[in-house]
Structure 1
Amino acid sequence: MTDRQIRTTAHGSADVVILGAGPAGLTLGNLLLAAGIDCVVLERADRDRVRTRARAGFLAANTVRVLDRHGLADGLHRRGLPHGTCEFRTEVGSFRLDYSTLGRGEQHTVYPQQDLVTDLLTHYLAEGGRIHFETEAQRVDDADGTRPAVTVRDADGRPGRWQSRYVAGCDGRHGAARHSLPATARRHHRDHGVSWLGLLAEAPPSLDAVGYALHRRGFAGHMARTPEVTRYYLQWERGTAADAWSQERIWDELGLRMRTADHGPLHQGRILQRSVIDLQSDVMEPLRHGSLLLAGDAASLPAPAAAKGANLAVLEAELLAESLIDDLAHGDPTALDQYSRRCLAHIWRAQEFSHWMIQLLHAPLGSDEESFFHESLRRSRIESLRTSRIHQDWFAENYVGI
C-alpha cells in the first residue's frame, strides 16, 4: 500500500465518498473500485481499531454468495466454519432444529466480523483503494446539489472538505450521515425493554449448536466464534454496569440458566470482553436524500437477537454499488431511484423476524394478567416451533435469510 492510499489528508475529491470502514463501507468500496468508479473511504477510527472491532460472527448464505460473486470470500472459505443447528433449552425440556435441512436448506458460516473486515480492507488496499483513517466526518453539506461536500476533521484537529458526486453514509447510527439528514427524514424506533450482557470468553464452545436458554431468571445464549473463543449472552437488568458481577458469578449464572445440571458443564475460561446491549431497533426512511445514501447501521439497526446487522450491511452495499455503477458508468439512474424501496423491503423483513425472536426468547417480567397472557403465547410459540414442520421451515428460511 502507498502513503496516498492511507494518509490522513483532510481534503480531496472522488465520485463517491464513503463514510465508515465497516462491512457496508468496505464492501461498497471494493465493488466500486472493481468497476472503475473513483471512490474514497473516510474512517474516524485508526487502522488497528478497524481491524479488531468485535461484532457479530454469523454470515448468512446470501452474504457468502454476495462475497463470492465479487471475489471477496477467500478468507471465510479458508477459516469460516459451517453451522446449521440451534438448540432451545426450556423449562419443559430441550429440542434441536437442524435448520440447514429445513426451509431452503441453507446454513450460516461462522466467521468473526473483525476477520471479514480485515479481509475486505486488505483486498481494497491491494487493489489500490484509498482510505483515510482517523478522519472524522462531521457533516454532509449540499446533499441535494450535484456536488455535495463532506466536512471532516483529521487526527490533528485540522478541518477539511471532500467533494463528491455522491456520499454513501455507512458510518452507523451516530455518524455524520444521519446527523446530516433533512427534517423530512423519518426514524422509526423501538426500544424492546430488554438488555443483554454480551460476553466474549476465552473458552471452547460448549455446544455444537447455537444455544438459546429460556429460563425464569432470564435468557442466556451461547454462540461459537472460533474453536478457542465463545460468545455468551445473559439477560441483564437495565442500568447495571457490565462489570457489576465477578467472573465466577457470571459462570454460575450461565450454568444455571443453561441448565448444565441436565446437559453437562460449560467450558469455562477468562472473560475477554463485556458490554451491555440494550435491545433496540430503528429504521431510517427513505434511504436516499439527493446525493446522500444510507447503508449498514446508518440505514437500519436490527436488535441483535437474530444476527441480521452485518448481513443486511453486505446486501445493501451490493445493491448500492450496482445502483451507483449504473448511474456513474452507464448514465442510468433508474436503480438509484429504486435503491431505498428495494433495501427497505429486506430491512423490514429482517426487523420483523428479529422482533419475533425477541418475543420468543424473553419472558414478560411482570406477574399480572397481561404478563401471564403474553407468557402463555410465548410458550405456545415454542411448542409450535418444536412440533410443527411448517413452523420450522418458516423459522429456518427467516433465520438464515434476509
Structure 2
Amino acid sequence: MGGMCIRCGQKVEDESGVAFGYIHKNLRLADDEVARLRDKDLKNLLRHKKLILVLDLDHTLLNSTRLADISAEESYLKDQREVLPDALRSNLFKLDWIHMMTKLRPFVHTFLKEASSLFEMYIYTMGERPYALEMASLLDPGGIYFHSRVIAQSDSTRRHQKGLDVVLGQESAVLILDDTEVVWGKHRENLILMDRYHFFTSSCRQFGLKCKSLSEQKSDENEAEGALASVLEVLQRIHRLFFDPERGDNIMERDVRQVLKTVRKEILKGCKIVFTGVIPIQCQPENHHYWKLAEKLGATFSTEVDDTVTHVVSMNDKTEKSRQAVREKKFLVHPRWIEAANYLWRKPPEENFPVSS
C-alpha cells in the first residue's frame, strides 16, 4: 500500500499483484495474499450461509440518461415532477451536479434487501468511480449493502472487460448479474444475464431499439413480475440448492457455477426442438446461437418433426416443417421464445411468440 508491504512494512518496487484501490487508495495485494484472503473469506461466508453476488448498475439495477438527452415526450419527468405517481417520483432522481437523471428499476429495494441476507454484494460497473458512488448512494443510502465494495471502470485490470480478479472472493462462490455478456469473457459460467431495463429514450436509441421507451409510454416494469423479482427467485433457489443439508459433499468444495448450470437446464427440460428457417444451411446447427442457448436451457433436438418433438422453432410459417407442426399440433414458436426463456428463467407461454410469414 503506497509502495509498502502491508504485512512486513518493506518497500515494494514492482507492480506485481492486483490493485484493490476501491477498498483503500493505492492498495495492491500480492497474488499469494489474494489467495489467502479469498480462502479466509470463503470460510467466513459459508459459515454464515452466504455467497457473493456481483451486480452491474446500468440496465440491470437502474437506467440513467444525460439531462440533455431527455426527449420532448419525456420532458414531463423534469417539468411536472410534483404530479408524478409516488412510485415513480420516489425512484426518479434528477442529479444536476452530474447533469443526469436516474431511474431505479422497480423492485430494486426489495431485491437488495432480500438478496443481502443470502449474499455479500458488490457493485461492478464500467462507469467511472464518481458515477458509481453516486448510484450506490441512491441504491443503498444507509450504506448497509455494499460498504466499500463498489468497483468502477478504473479498477478493472483489462480494458473494456470486467473480471473477478478484483473481487475478493472465490470464483466458485460468485454469481454475477449483468445485462452484457461480452464484458465477462472469462466468467460467463458465473453470469446470469439480465433483460435490459430501458426506461429512458436515450437508452432505447443506444441499443438501436425502434420502440417507445417506458418513460414515453408513461409506464414501467411490473414490480411483481419484472426482471428483478424473477431473478430473485432464481438466486434464492440456487442458494437453497448450494446449502442443501442433504448434500453429502464437502461444502468447501462446492461450486455455485455447477448449481447455476443445473438450475438453468431445468428451464426447457422436456422440450424437444426442431429448427426450420432459422439456422443457415452453411452453419453447423450445434454451433448456432439459438441451438447453443436452447441446449444450455435443457432442451434436446431433432432434425425431423416426429412424435417426440414438442416445439418447432421458425421465423416463417410457410416452411414445410412449420406447416407440419401446425398439422400435428406441435408448438410453433419464434426464436424469441428461447431468448425469453433465458431471461425469464421459465418456459414462456408459447402463444406469445407466434410465427408469421
Whether the TM-score (by the shorter chain) exceeds 0.5 is no
Give TM-score scaled by structure 1 length. 0.30
Higher relative contact order (CA 8 A, sep 6+): 1
**Higher share of residues assigned strand:** 1
Larger radius of gyration: 2
Give TM-score scaled by structure 2 length. 0.32
